[in-house]
């Protein structure tokens, strides 16, 4: 998120006046309800998708494991991304929809919090790790898997208002 500098130009919030990295001070911001939704895709062969859906992948339940991994990742975002604030998340859902037309899976995370800062990074981290987990669990049968299109779909709450991609 960019702040406005004295001249009205966007300024990076995680860069101090001397160019050093810094964590943004959110102590004066009110706690409000916030939500973010992120999405990404894992593209693979039809055979790999069928293997996942049959439940016969060598490493086990691919989609269930990816779902748990994504939820865990959302909760650990501040440990992974240096300048993110640790947040007490109130809800994390991770939906993975098989899509025969890709072929592959569409991964979508929704994260909620009541706090002074948003949860966009938590939603994006959840999707990223869920996609990587799917890759990890089927890479033995296919190396050409692609992770694509990880992006913020929507956010709600906070001073900057709502966003819809």
Largest CA distance in the chain: 60
Tell me the C-alpha distance between 29 and 146, whole Å. 39
**Cα–Cα distances in Å, from 87 out to 66, 71, 118, 125, 156?**
22, 14, 9, 14, 16
Catalytic residue of the set 3, 25, 61, 136: 136
Q: Which of 103, 107, 104 is nearest to 74 (CA)?
A: 107
Q: Is 136 a catalytic residue?
A: yes
Q: Could you give the residue numbers annotated as active site?
A: 136
């Amino acid at each position: 998120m960019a702040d406005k500098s004295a001249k009205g130009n966007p300024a990076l919030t995680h860069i101090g006046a001397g160019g050093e990295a810094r964590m943004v001070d959110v102590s004066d911001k009110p706690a409000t309800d916030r939500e973010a939704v992120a999405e990404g895709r894992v593209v693979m062969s039809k055979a790999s998708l069928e293997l996942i859906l049959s439940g016969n992948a060598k490493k086990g339940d691919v989609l269930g494991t990816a779902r748990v991994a994504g939820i865990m990742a959302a909760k650990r975002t501040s440990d992974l991304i240096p300048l993110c604030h640790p947040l007490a998340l109130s809800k994390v859902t991770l939906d993975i929809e098989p899509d025969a037309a890709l072929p592959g899976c569409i991964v979508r995370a929704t994260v909620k919090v009541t706090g002074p800062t948003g949860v966009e990074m938590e939603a994006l981290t959840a999707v990223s790790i869920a996609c990587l987990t799917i890759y990890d669990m089927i890479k033995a049968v296919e190396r050409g898997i692609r992770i694509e299109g990880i992006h913020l779909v929507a956010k709600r709450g906070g001073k900057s208002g709502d966003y819809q991609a």
